[in-house]
Amino acid sequence: MDYVLVNNVVADEQWQQIKAEAPDQEQPNVISLVSAPKLGKYFGESGVNGINLLDRLTQRKYHLGQYRFFNDVPVPYWDKIFVNRDGSISIYDRGSEIAKEFLYPNTRRAAQDVRYTNLDGTLDYIEEYAYDGTIFSNLFYAENEMLEMVFYNQKFQPVVRYYLYQGVINLVTVENPETHQVLQRYNSLLEFYNDQVRSIVTEQDTVMINYMGVELTSLINTESHNILRLSEDPLDDQGNVRGNLADILYDRVKTIQTVQVSAKDYKILQKKGLPLAKIVII
């Protein structure tokens, strides 16, 4: 199978480009790494085989056309939800604002998340809703610093947890949603990505990436045929060939077997005297 591996899908234009460049344009096979409540807008399209690492573990299915109405969010019984003149939404408890609600862009009623605050105004926790209105995650804070992210299945049972220290994810656990027994444990987000991507792609598959960041490192130890379709400028701000690209072309990074570049970029790399054996002009 031919896959496109992306970090995240954040905009409609980006999604259209991903589908246009996918090896199988009639039925794009797209793997995404980052958790994203909005992902259902794209992966829920007919004919798209979209695989998100978290959704795969939580077995989440998206239902286009459904959403959570903005006043259908969990609040204390007597609380009031007000739409302010500037379009923002406030939640009041006994006259004091305890939370703000945000809607999905370009919608008038679809709840995206609710951000609850402590008495001193610092964040307490955020509840995120998937594009179809189901509860997607809770993000827990202390002194405005995120400490834990919990991702749920569609029965509102926790399945995956990210634990953070000083803004860095240093532990990921996957648990049985019924018994809460920890089934898998990872010491970093990259370790989690590596293991989950390896469990999806096989040596018979082809995986295409566009960027040399987390997409590249998540392919470590895969046995698939991996292609870099270069979307970045091959040179950095100092006019040198980007380090990861040079390592790929010199085969110091063996994760990528083929590099697809434009004729313009090919000439740039040729002038720099880099090995061109992996390069294919598109």
- CATH number, residue 10: 3.40.50.2000
Domain of residue 108: give its range: 80-189
The answer as to whether 137 is a domain residue is: yes
pLDDT band at 24 (very low <50, low <70, confident <90, very high): confident
CA distances (Å), 222 to each of 9, 59, 203, 259, in order? Answer: 23, 23, 8, 17
Give pLDDT, residue 152.
96
| Judgement on whether residues 208 and 275 belong to the same structural domain of the protein | yes
Buried-state track 152-184, b at ≥16 Cβ within 10 A, e below 16: bbbeeebbbbbbbeeeebebbbbbebeeeeeee
| Judgement on whether residues 182 and 213 belong to the same structural domain of the protein | no
| Judgement on whether residues 156 and 257 belong to the same structural domain of the protein | no
Mean per-residue pLDDT of the chain: 92
The answer as to whether 70 is a domain residue is: no
Give pLDDT, residue 162.
98
pTM score, whole prediction: 0.89
Residue 245 phi, psi (nearest 5)? -65, -45
The tens digit of pLDDT for each residue in 246-268 reads: 999 999 999 999 999 999 999 99
Buried-state track 110-148, b at ≥16 Cβ within 10 A, e below 16: bbbbbbbbeeeeebebbbbbbbbbbbbbbbebeeeebeb
Q: Tell me, what CATH number does 161's domain have?
A: 3.90.930
| Judgement on whether residues 131 and 213 belong to the same structural domain of the protein | no
Q: Which amino acid is at 47?
A: G
Which of 189, 206, 238 is the last residue in one of the domains? 189
Does the structure show a pLDDT above 90 at 158?
A: yes
| Judgement on whether residues 269 and 246 belong to the same structural domain of the protein | yes
Q: Is 259 exposed, middle or buried (0-12, 13-18, 19+ CB in 10 A)?
A: buried
The answer as to whether 69 is a domain residue is: no
The answer as to whether 32 is a domain residue is: yes
Are 170 and 162 spatial neighbours (Cβ–Cβ below 8 Å)? no
The tens digit of pLDDT for each residue in 51-90 reads: 999 999 999 888 778 889 888 888 887 888 888 877 779 9
Tokens linked to 215: 């997409």
Give pLDDT, residue 80.
86
